[in-house]
A and B are shown apart, each in its own frame.
Chain A
Amino acid sequence: QKEVEQDPGPLSVPEGAIVSLNCTYSNSAFQYFMWYRQYSRKGPELLMYTYSSGNKEDGRFTAQVDKSSKYISLFIRDSQPSDSATYLCAMSGLYNNNDMRFGAGTRLTVKP
């Protein structure tokens, strides 16, 4: 079993839809959770990070963490064509330099 599982998609939605992206993990030592957005042939860009269970909101983006279920989500409201990208979840223990694990990424297309 992989430490981090992420559905690779592809996921295609119409403009304005609410998008839900998810990851599950198996290592209970993970305490820090991140979401990255990666456009084609570019480096990943950090979108959001959190280290607590519950919701964290930033504009149209909401990150949700459920540590009891080992499940994290990223919601995108009012999705735009510019949101079309691959979204990577990432997680690590606290205070470690080399234990970050990434999901394989979900490719999202928002159609106008």
Chain B
Amino acid sequence: SQTIHQWPATLVQPVGSPLSLECTVEGTSNPNLYWYRQAAGRGLQLLFYSVGIGQISSEVPQNLSASRPQDRQFILSSKKLLLSDSGFYLCAWSAWTGTNEQYFGPGTRLTVT
């Protein structure tokens, strides 16, 4: 069966510091990968998605970037965090076959102070 991992679970960082959040998927090959941010009462906002190694599409201009160095690894980064980057970050995967169900990881709660 497939499993998706995210770490860290919780992170408190000062403004201006760098960020690196990691997501890995087990039990599937060539998944589509997604980064979302969830704000209270506002649903899920798609930040980045990837259909393959090195292929990243950005949905929203922002202070963040994403990379996919390996087939089942997805990384969300920032060089300098802003207060507005605080939120709950979720990684998700879907099968490359085109079925649309997305499966989410446990999330990382980021607080920028």
**Chain A residues in contact with chain B, CB under 8 A?**
4, 6, 8, 32, 34, 36, 41-46, 49, 88, 90, 92, 94-98, 100, 102-105
B-side interface mostly: strand
B44 x A43 contact (CB < 8 A) = no
B43 x A102 contact (CB < 8 A) = yes
Can you pick out 28 interface pairs between chain A and chain B where the beta carbons lie within 8 Å of each other?
A4-B43, A6-B43, A8-B41, A34-B100, A34-B102, A41-B109, A42-B107, A43-B6, A43-B104, A43-B106, A45-B104, A46-B103, A49-B100, A49-B101, A92-B100, A97-B32, A97-B94, A98-B46, A98-B49, A98-B57, A98-B59, A100-B46, A100-B102, A102-B43, A104-B41, A104-B42, A105-B41, A105-B43
**Chain B residues in contact with chain A, CB under 8 A?**
6, 32, 41-44, 46, 49, 51, 57, 59, 88, 90, 94, 98, 100-107, 109
A104 x B43 contact (CB < 8 A) = yes
Q: Could you tell me the distance between the alpha carbons of A98 and B46 in the complex, rounded to whole angstroms?
A: 8
B100 x A94 contact (CB < 8 A) = yes
- Known pairs A43-B106, A97-B49; list 15 more (Cβ under 8 Å): A4-B43, A6-B43, A8-B41, A44-B44, A44-B90, A46-B101, A46-B102, A46-B104, A49-B101, A90-B102, A95-B100, A97-B94, A98-B59, A104-B43, A105-B43
A43 x B90 contact (CB < 8 A) = yes
A96 x B102 contact (CB < 8 A) = no
B71–chain A nearest beta-carbon distance, Å: 16
